[in-house]
Amino acid sequence: MSDRPKPCACTPIATRLTRRAALATTTGLLATACAKASRWEPSSVVADGGVIELDLNEHPSLATPGGMEAFKVAGVRSPILVMRIENDAFRVLSLQCPHLGCTVRWNNGTQQLECPCHGSTFDDVGRPTKGPAKRQLASYRWQMTGTRLHIAVAT
């Protein structure tokens, strides 16, 4: 039997998330418009010296607590998820499943990140809530300067 991940049959949807959706969630996290985890369509960004810089004026989904947005960073295997959790605090997670590397997605219905390949789930901090994945999602360091969020993505 192969260890390769099963292909995903999910339908692609946009992951740019609305402010209104953020306000509608009980945990304050934004979500997709689909009850089931679907394929992310992250924004593309380029790292300079291992750091990406996001001007929050250009990312309204991150302007208020509860917002989130996925990004595909050139040279980084899996997308990252940037979540504004409160005031000027953020959480930045890798969307690479620690089991076999599929891309996990946020599910608004369950308020979890879900892996489409073998069903692992993770809470909004990235801790596994259901296997087979046993490790949590990797996280990235960040720093806020004015309206600019800098995220260290170098490995």
φ/ψ (deg, to 5) at 149: -105, 125
38-97 binders of ligand FES (CB under 6 A): 97
Distance in Å, CB of 34 to ligand FES, minimum: 19
Nearer to ligand FES, 15 or 121 (CB): 121
Tell me, by CB under 6 A, how many residues bind ligand FES.
13
Task: Report residue 32 as tokens.
Answer: 């997709």
Choosing from 118, 138, 144, 152, the residue that interacts with ligand FES (CB under 6 A) is 118
Choosing from 120, 128, 140, 142, the residue that interacts with ligand FES (CB under 6 A) is 120
Nearer to ligand FES, 21 or 102 (CB): 102
φ/ψ (deg, to 5) at 19: -65, -40
Distance in Å, CB of 48 to ligand FES, minimum: 30
Choosing from 84, 91, 99, 105, the residue that interacts with ligand FES (CB under 6 A) is 99
Long-range contacts of 55-58 (CB under 8 A, 24+ apart): 55/147, 55/148, 56/147, 56/148, 56/149, 57/147
Distance in Å, CB of 134 to ligand FES, minimum: 10
Residues 6 or more apart whose CB falls under 8 angstroms from that of 76 comprise: 47, 153, 155
CA gap 98, 115 in Å, rounded: 10
Nearer to ligand FES, 85 or 138 (CB): 138
